[in-house]
Amino acid sequence: MDPDSLVITDVSPRDGLQNQSAHVPAGAKVDLVLRLAAAGVRSVEVTSFVSPKTVPQMADAAQVLAGVQAALPALRASVLVPNLRGLARAQEAGACEVAVVLSATETMNLRNINMNLATATAVCEETIVAARGAGLATRAYIAVAFECPFEGLTDPIAVRSLCERMLQAGAQEVVLADTIGAAAPCQVTRLLSDLRGVLPLDRTAMHFHDTRGFGVANAWAAIEAGVRRFDASVGGVGGCPFAPGAAGNLATEDLVLLARQSGLETGIDMDGLRDAVEFAEAQLQRPLGGRSMGWYRALAQ
């Protein structure tokens, strides 16, 4: 991993759109990915093979993945799968990279997927093992890695144990997720320190939400700790239904601007991101944009 560059996975087509009330058709989702790629984004989480009844916005997963792969065969296009059934659907659709999500607390798993922590961990392990056996690339999210909306601060020992288990199962990248946007930079620094010796930095990614306005600050704390892989969502689209008042995900444009002004390369163009933000605004019929987008739009006038 080049210490002078960041690898950014834009998760707006999946994490950003999955809980939106406005229906976004498959063609528009593919178009959003095309715009992200045109801006220089090389890694996108394009959809989720979850139950269409549970997440209607992702009912067109196979269609979206097919459209993206046909138009952008070189793009690193990952998909979320909740279990072996979702993995089978993803494989049938031609997925090359999959991700699983495991919450780090008992209550979050029960409230989110109606499984206890032990069962959810086993499901993620067997899904990763099967995916690796099929030759697919794998990511594993550790959700609520900093704080749980039901249990409060998350025990770092529990996070450490789950990271170990996901790596042992075959996860090639572990994503530490501040799912409700509750972390502060000192907590990011502390958790990454606690995970030394277990989770290699070159297999670590961070997924921040901006609920309390700390998204960019938390990203900087992770950068200073040596992390170079990040999730972000163009326009800040997203948010967690368990986080009241959530502002959304860390905006891709804010992270790209932070990198640019800090001497780190991303290969991503701000003008292209502005185009993607405006397209997403038209689809969701509401204003979008990270904390830097108002300034950047004014600059471009």
Catalytic center residues: 240
Task: Answer positive or negative: Cα dihedral of 108, 110, 113, 118.
Answer: positive
Q: Tell me how far apart the alpha carbons of residues 30 and 72 are, in angstroms, rounded to a whole number.
A: 10
Whether residue 182 contacts residue 214, with contact meaning beta carbons closer than 8 Å, is answered with no
Which two tokens mark 190? 């502390």
| Pairing mode, strands 147-148 and 152-153 | antiparallel
Q: Tell me how far apart the alpha carbons of residues 10 and 172 are, in angstroms, rounded to a whole number.
A: 18
Q: Tell me how far apart the alpha carbons of residues 144 and 3 are, in angstroms, rounded to a whole number.
A: 27
Residue 144: phi and psi, rounded to 5, are 40, 45
Cα angle 24, 243, 62 (rounded to 5 degrees) comes to 30
Which two tokens mark 225? 């700790």
